[in-house]
Structure 1
Amino acid sequence: MRTYIGHQQVVGSEEFEELALGIDRELFLGVEDETGEGRAARQAAARDVLADLVAQGAAGDEVAAWDALYAEALTRTVPLLRSSARSVRVPGAGEAA
C-alpha cells in the first residue's frame, strides 16, 4: 500500500512525519552524537527555517505560523538521554534477592 501526503509519496516513517508536520524535527531537536561543528550548522539552518516560517506566518500563511510555533517549541525542548548511553544507579533497583 502506498501513502501520499498531497502529491508526495511517503517512503518512510521519518518522511511521513516531516510531510505531515511540515518541518523536520531533527533539524530543531538535533541528533545523538553530533559534533559541535555539526550542531552549529544545524542550529544556523534551523534559525533560517524558523525565520522563514515566521515571515510566511506574518504574511498570512496560517499553516506556516503554526509550524513556526511548533518549531520554536522544539528548539526549547531538551532531548532525553537514552538510558543505554549512560549508567544511572537507582537505590533499591538492583537484582531481586
Structure 2
Amino acid sequence: MREYVGSHEVRTYEDWFELSMGTEPQLWLGVEGESREERAARLDAGLDILADDPELTPAVAAIITDAITHRPGLLAGVLPAIGGATR
C-alpha cells in the first residue's frame, strides 16, 4: 500500500515528517555531532517557526514524542541534545 501527503509519495518516516511539517526532521530532532553553536542556531530557527505559526507546536511535540518512543534509530546520536544534557 502506498501512502501520500498531498501529491507526494511517502516512502520513509523522514519523508512523512518533512511533507507534513514542511521542515526537515533534523530541525526539530537535531543531528549527530552538532556543536553547541549549531544546536543553538537550530533551536532558534525552530522557535522562530513556532512563533510564526504556534499551531505547529502540538504537531512538533507529537512527532518528537513518536520519534523517542517508536523510532529510536531516527534519534541515534542526538538524544543528549534533546533534553539539553551535555557530556
The TM-score with structure 1 as length reference comes to: 0.48
> Which residue does the alignment assign to 1:91?
none
Equivalent runs, 1:13-92 vs 2, <5 Å: 13-20=13-20, 22=21, 23-54=23-54, 65=55, 67-71=56-60, 74=64, 80=79
Higher helix share: 2
Q: How far apart are the structure 2 equivalents of 1:53 and 1:43?
A: 15
The TM-score with structure 2 as length reference comes to: 0.51
Structure 1 residues without counterparts, runs of 5 or longer: 55-64, 82-97
Q: How far apart are the structure 2 equivalents of 1:49 and 1:8?
A: 23
Label 1:25 to 1:4 Cα distance change in 2 as closer, same or farther (>3 A). Answer: same
Secondary structure of residue in 1 paired with 2:32: coil
Label 1:72 to 1:50 Cα distance change in 2 as closer, same or farther (>3 A). Answer: farther
Letter in 1 for 2:60: A
Aligned positions, number: 66
Q: How far apart are the structure 1 equivalents of 2:60 and 2:10?
A: 21
Q: CA RMSD in A?
A: 3.0
Higher relative contact order (CA 8 A, sep 6+): 2
Label 1:69 to 1:6 Cα distance change in 2 as closer, same or farther (>3 A). Answer: same
Matched, 1:5 2:38: no
